[in-house]
Amino acid sequence: MEIKLCQPSITQAETDAAVAALNSGWLTEGPKNEEFQKNFADYLGIKHAITVNSCASALFVAVKALNITGEVIVPSFTFPATANAVVTAGATPIFADINLETLNLDATAIENKITTKTQAVIIVHTAGQACEMDKIMALVKKHNLFLIEDSAQTIGGTFNGQKTGSFGDIGCFSFFPTKNMTTGEGGMLTTNSDELAKKMKILIAHGVERSTDANGNLVRAVVEPGYNFRMSNVLAAVGVEQLKRLDEMNARRIAWANYFNEKITNPQIIKPVAAAGASHVFQMYIIRMENGRDEMMKKLKAAGVGATIYCNPPVHQQPYYQKKYFTADDQLPNTIKAAKENIILPMYPAMTSIEIDYIINIINS
């Protein structure tokens, strides 16, 4: 049997919406972007949502919009886009350690990394689980820091009932095909700040501010150097339909994760847990093994299971970051441990009980 690691959930509704958008003549940013943005903001309970071409662009724009040029605390146990955005936007990444159970940044570890140069924290809601937002919000308020939420992996996740991407100054989302909902390539910026929303819209569209003159003519003024990070109307049309089914797709992921948790009985397996106050929407189902991880991976792959390993090596060990922003491994013990022990098992809404039982039997044997 061959089982993919992940598979996007695309229905006829998404296909029809994409075709309709193509036929409308709006091939770049258009009416569907406005609809998607409004619906996404309403879903999060936030004032502004702005479509972009990727979460990597969203993260970069977030750092730029907040005028951050000093130190930004980030996890090393994450996809490199998080740290890359800090560097390319002209700031300095400072790596902090994670909580080994949740795989999210630990609030105490964050505070230990704060210096007079620290301007912001970028948290990553890892694999579908929200960070400990009560502690983190208190921390950034205490030290007067900006907070950017990388919620690429946790669309629809909550902490104490509030959705990720609505806590900090700016939230960043990904709609890559592996995520809880998809537009192919694509992302979203979210904020409650009118000023930040205006600035980010200018940054993603060449630095151009639009207005009208006394005669009603459109005036385009370049108010700062900008970029072309816009999402097309066609992809936004797909996003509108995906968002309608997001809670349903997340419910399927949660159901399969609960099934995995119930049926995996191998005592060597450390299964994911939802932290107090946090919901988990399982963009990834990550297990850990203190011993035998590589042997288990070989076994799964030989059986046709598309399992993989997350973040190994972690970002601070990647050649560029090791050379320019060296962080000793002993400062990030949980990060090192998680990188050496984790396995991502297949997880997507359309999985079948036959496929999941097949994976479970391999693990338990």
Does the pLDDT value for residue 213 go beyond 80?
A: no
Q: ∠ CA 87-93-95 to the nearest 5 degrees? A: 145
pLDDT-derived band at 215, boundaries 50, 70, 90: confident
For residues 96-118, give the mean pLDDT: 98
Neighbours of 213 (CB within 10 A): 8
Q: Which residues contact 196 (CB under 8 A, 6 or more apart)?
A: 48, 65, 66, 169, 170
Does the pLDDT value for residue 212 go beyond 80?
A: no
92 beta partners:
71
In the chain, where are the structural domains located? 12-244, 246-364
For residues 153-166, give the mean pLDDT: 98
C-alpha to C-alpha distance for 41 and 324, rounded to whole angstroms: 38
* Minimum mean pLDDT range among 77-91, 142-156, 208-222, 279-293: 208-222
Does the pLDDT value for residue 7 go beyond 90?
A: yes
Reported as a single tens digit per residue, the pLDDT across 327-350 is 999 999 999 999 999 999 999 999
Helix (H, G, I), strand (E, B) or coil at 84: helix
pLDDT-derived band at 145, boundaries 50, 70, 90: very high
For residues 51-77, give the mean pLDDT: 98
Reported as a single tens digit per residue, the pLDDT across 317-329 is 999 999 999 999 9
Q: What are phi and psi of 24, to 5 degrees?
A: -75, -20
For residues 179-192, give the mean pLDDT: 98
Q: For residue 256, what pLDDT is reported?
A: 98
Of 205, 179, 228, 170, give the one whose Cα is nearest residue 49: 170
In contact, 62 and 85? CB cutoff 8 Å: yes
Would strands 208-212 and 92-96 be described as parallel, antiparallel, or unpaired? unpaired
Superfamily for the 246-364 domain? Aspartate Aminotransferase, domain 1 (3.90.1150.10)
Q: For residue 219, what pLDDT is reported?
A: 81
How far are the Cα atoms of 219, 223, 245 from residue 215, in angstroms, in the given order? 11, 22, 45
Assigned CATH class of 12-244 = alpha beta
Share of the chain above pLDDT 90, in %: 95
Find where tokens 């990388």 sit. Answer: 150
For residues 245-262, give the mean pLDDT: 98
Q: ∠ CA 337-122-32 to the nearest 5 degrees? A: 120
Q: For residue 59, what pLDDT is reported?
A: 98
Reported as a single tens digit per residue, the pLDDT across 265-276 is 999 999 999 899
C-alpha to C-alpha distance for 255 and 57, rounded to whole angstroms: 32
Transcribe 140-207 into DSSP letters.
HHHTT-EEEEE-TT-TT-EETTEETTSSSSEEEEE--TTSSS--SS-EEEEES-HHHHHHHHHHTBTT
Q: For residue 214, what pLDDT is reported?
A: 75
Q: For residue 172, what pLDDT is reported?
A: 98
pLDDT-derived band at 114, boundaries 50, 70, 90: very high
**Please, which contacts does 349-354 make with residues 24 or more away whose CB atoms are closer than 8 Å?**
349/9, 349/248, 349/249, 349/252, 349/253, 350/7, 350/9, 350/252, 351/3, 351/252, 351/256, 353/259
Calculate the average pLDDT of the chain: 97
Q: For residue 218, what pLDDT is reported?
A: 79
pLDDT-derived band at 76, boundaries 50, 70, 90: very high
Q: For residue 292, what pLDDT is reported?
A: 96
